[in-house]
């Protein structure tokens, strides 16, 4: 029987899976940087079985740097040398069977063991990278350079900070649409689609500012970002739980 989540389940658009969760993580000092892009710019790069979501007639691509902490399997404690590391993802938004979720073009991480495990366990396109995160007051200085053998080169050098108080995104807003996603989608080498259910409280979002000295993350995925400032949100901390991936297509 699934673990009871109490009030935390009320914000979800569907119930948590009827099975025990298998992985817990904490996400820290996270920046959502989002740009609108035409659907046709993403369609060749997203599996055909996954319909791309739009808001205001546009698809959205996100570059999301953060720090991972407390990553652990169920019933096991976090291991200091494995459970905490920087992570950086490039993502868009899809819906399958009325379940809105996230599709990742890439996930770079500063822990090669975690990269290898996630590529096998979750069918996600994780890549090894040299990464450094330096807090400086409210600012977070973030640097990542992909080192994964055979992967397209990708780099991010950015600084960001929150500029206002934290609050859940208003229901129906673009921020809510971008962040209220309780599953991930991935495809294996044969094109089969998997859904990985996750659970967490509503995102405590803060307005943010950021400077990008280098950002080739979307370009490495074959997507050109528009020449306009991104929509920015910051979150200091969010705890999450994940379930085993299940094949859905």
**Architecture category of domain 31-247 in CATH:** Beta Barrel (2.40)
User: Would you call 188 helix, strand, or coil by DSSP?
Assistant: coil
pTM, to two decimals: 0.93
Quick: pLDDT tens for 212-228. Answer: 999 999 999 999 999 99
The pLDDT > 90 percentage for the chain reads: 83
Over 70: is that where the pLDDT of 131 sits? yes
Give the model's pLDDT for residue 80. 67
Radius of gyration from C-alpha coordinates of the chain: 17
Domain boundaries, the chain: 31-247
Distance, C-alpha 162 to centroid of its chain = 19
Task: Report the DSSP pairing between strands 206-215 and 155-162.
Answer: antiparallel
Region 98-123 average pLDDT:
90
Q: Phi and psi dihedrals of 168, rounded to 5?
A: -65, 150
Quick: pLDDT tens for 181-223. Answer: 999 999 998 999 999 999 999 999 999 999 999 999 999 999 9
Over 60: is that where the pLDDT of 4 sits? no
**CB contact at 8 A, 105 and 125:** yes
Give the model's pLDDT for residue 241. 96
The pLDDT > 70 percentage for the chain reads: 94
Quick: pLDDT tens for 50-95. Answer: 999 999 999 999 999 999 998 888 877 766 667 899 999 999 999 9
226 Cβ partners below 8 Å, 6+ apart? 35, 36, 37
């Amino acid at each position: 029987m699934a673990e009871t989540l109490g009030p935390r389940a009320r914000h979800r658009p569907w119930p948590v899976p009827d099975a025990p969760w298998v992985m817990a993580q904490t996400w820290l000092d996270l920046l959502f940087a989002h740009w609108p892009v035409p659907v046709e710019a993403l369609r060749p790069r997203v599996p055909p079985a996954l319909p791309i979501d739009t808001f205001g007639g546009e698809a959205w691509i996100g570059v999301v740097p953060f720090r991972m902490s407390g990553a652990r399997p169920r019933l096991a404690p976090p291991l200091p040398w494995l459970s905490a590391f920087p992570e950086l993802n490039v993502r868009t938004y899809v819906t399958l069977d009325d379940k809105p979720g996230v599709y990742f073009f890439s996930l770079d991480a500063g822990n090669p063991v975690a990269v290898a495990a996630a590529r096998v366990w979750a069918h996600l396109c994780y890549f090894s990278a040299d990464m450094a995160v330096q807090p400086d007051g409210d600012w977070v200085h973030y640097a990542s350079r992909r080192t994964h053998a055979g992967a397209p080169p990708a780099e991010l050098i950015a600084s960001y900070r929150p500029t206002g108080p934290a609050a859940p995104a208003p229901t129906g807003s673009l921020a809510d649409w971008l962040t209220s996603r309780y599953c991930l989608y991935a495809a294996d080498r044969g094109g089969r689609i998997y859904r990985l259910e996750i659970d967490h409280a509503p995102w405590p979002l803060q307005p943010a500012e950021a400077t990008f000295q280098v950002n080739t993350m979307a370009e490495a995925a074959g997507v050109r970002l528009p020449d306009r400032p991104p929509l920015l949100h910051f979150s200091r901390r969010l705890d999450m739980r994940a379930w085993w991936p299940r094949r859905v297509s």
